[in-house]
Structure 1
Amino acid sequence: MVNAAESGRFRIGGAFDVNRLGFGAMRIVGRGIWGPPADRDEVLRTLRRVPELGVDFIDTADSYGPNFSEELIHEALAPYGKVHIATKGGFARTGPNVWVQVGRPEYLIQQAHTSRWRLGVEIIDLWQLHRIDPKVPAKEQFDAIAMLIKDKVIRCAGLS
């Protein structure tokens, strides 16, 4: 059996190191990345197995479900120990396979705070903006993210 620790390590944002092999949690929810999973118990078993396989980095988003992915990760793994959680914001969901960009600063800030609450962490290790919303000046979006770092809501930021 392969262990993710054998994949090597890299540094994220100068803040923490993770194994190169991580776990993407987009598909742990319902069809169309919408709603709860068909088999919640199987998802929880899978998530609990992830760290046993040496995976110490899990990537999710508030829009996966929406919200279900973050909630399941929290239920299965909190407290996280040596596992780092990355999440994303900047999409609103109105139905299966429907993704609406929302880059308004107040929305991004609200989403980061609610992700932090759903994940049950004091600070999000890595928060990523899904896309730059062309309807909102990029500087306004980046300023909101900088404020989240300054306020210690998120440790590192990225663009997905």
Structure 2
Amino acid sequence: MTNDRYPLAGFDVHRVGFGAMQLPGPGVMGPPRDHDEAIAVLRRAVEAGVDHIDTAQIYGPDVANELIREALHPYPENLAIVSKVGARRDEAGGWVPLEDPADLRTDVENNLRTLGIDQLAAVNLRVMDRTASDSFFDDQLAVMVAARDAGLIGGIGLSNVDLRHLERAAAQTDIVCVQNPYNLVDRSAQDLLDECVARGIGFVPFFPLGSAFTPDNPVLGNPVVRQAAGELDRTPAQVALAWTLGVAPNVLLIPGTSSVAHLEENLAVADIELSDDTRAQLDAVGSNQLA
């Protein structure tokens, strides 16, 4: 694929990276089902050219970061490790928003400690409540700016935000990436993607294959996707990822897996060329919001 790289917080990364969310156990809690396979996935990813890994202290918690450190430390100089802060996990595995903006700094430092690094390429401020006040968002953003100015992070990103959050944040500081749900059937973040294109900001879609937390998957089960997969002799996941990668030049994929075989399939999407007709059919699938 042409234009297969994009700038990210001072790095120049391949547009297909790796997301560490699936490395811990079920529900993103506890140790991996197969520790050795998780280590092998990470090492194979970097060996295959992955230079952008997305992780978080709350994946496990702690588990994903500790696996990354065990598998890859000392890290290649060109490896951009990106994390996110803004939430904690409760005993039941629920995702709980941080109530005190000052705790963001602690979580940034915890990421650095478990990963064994002095600086993260970028850290995304995860907005857990989009209805929270602007002043609360500003206070959180100020903590992120202070962490960047202290050299703990190279760039500030946003996650799970509305367009107003991006505009408000960008008026106060540089934003290097935005992470929001986006896939064939959920294009509710299209306005964010368009704004990121206009501003030269990387857009990192999460759930590009549909949510991992819903029993039915309207992306992989879509008949148009399945037909295209059959015609191209690819998997439905590969077709959906290839479509997403081709939406805009600033899209940075971070498909995750705990399987080396699935990793190889995910990385291969960079070489898939969808015909104009196939892309038009996939474009027409719709933009219904996922439940």
- Which residue identity does 1:65 align to in structure 2? G
- Which among 55, 60, 68 is matched to residue 63 of structure 2? 68
- Which residue identity does 1:112 align to in structure 2? V
The aligned counterpart of 1:112 is: 108
- Which residue identity does 2:51 align to in structure 1? D
> Is 1:51–2:50 an aligned residue pair?
no
TM-score of the aligned structures, taking structure 1 as reference length: 0.90
Cα distance in 2, alignment partners of residues 41 and 21 from structure 1: 23
Larger Rg: 2
Report SS of the residue matched to 2:102: helix
Report SS of the residue matched to 1:154: coil
Structure 1: gaps of 5 or more residues: none
**Structure whose residues are more often strand by fraction:** 1
Provide the aligned length of Structure 1 versus Structure 2.
155
Q: 1:19-30 maps to which residues of 2 (within 5 A)?
A: 19-30=14-25
Q: 1:1-160 maps to which residues of 2 (within 5 A)?
A: 8-13=4-9, 15-81=10-76, 82-102=78-98, 104-131=100-127, 133=129, 134=132, 137-160=136-159
Structure 1 residues 96 and 10, CA gap change in structure 2 (3 angstroms): farther
Structure 2: gaps of 5 or more residues: 160-291
Structure 1 residues 117 and 42, CA gap change in structure 2 (3 angstroms): same
CA contact (8 A) 1:85 1:125 kept: yes
Tell me how far 1:6 sits from its aligned partner: 7.3
CA contact (8 A) 1:132 1:141 kept: no
Tell me how far 1:80 sits from its aligned partner: 1.1
Tell me how far 1:132 sits from its aligned partner: 5.3
Cα distance in 1, alignment partners of residues 70 and 58 from structure 2: 17
Structure 1 residues 125 and 56, CA gap change in structure 2 (3 angstroms): same
Tell me how far 1:84 sits from its aligned partner: 1.3
Tell me how far 1:58 sits from its aligned partner: 0.4
Q: Percent identity?
A: 37
Q: String of CA shifts for 1:3-58, please: whole Å, max 9, x gaps.
A: xx977100113x22100000011000010111111111110011110011111100
Cα distance in 1, alignment partners of residues 22 and 5 from structure 2: 25
CA contact (8 A) 1:18 1:56 kept: yes
Structure 1 residues 96 and 53, CA gap change in structure 2 (3 angstroms): farther
Tell me how far 1:105 sits from its aligned partner: 2.1
Q: String of CA shifts for 1:83-112, please: whole Å, max 9, x gaps.
A: 211011111101454101115222100000
Cα distance in 1, alignment partners of residues 41 and 3 from structure 2: 20
Q: Pick which of 114-123 and 102-111 moved more.
A: 102-111
CA contact (8 A) 2:87 2:128 kept: no
CA contact (8 A) 1:18 1:57 kept: yes
Structure 1 residues 21 and 88, CA gap change in structure 2 (3 angstroms): same
CA contact (8 A) 2:102 2:140 kept: no
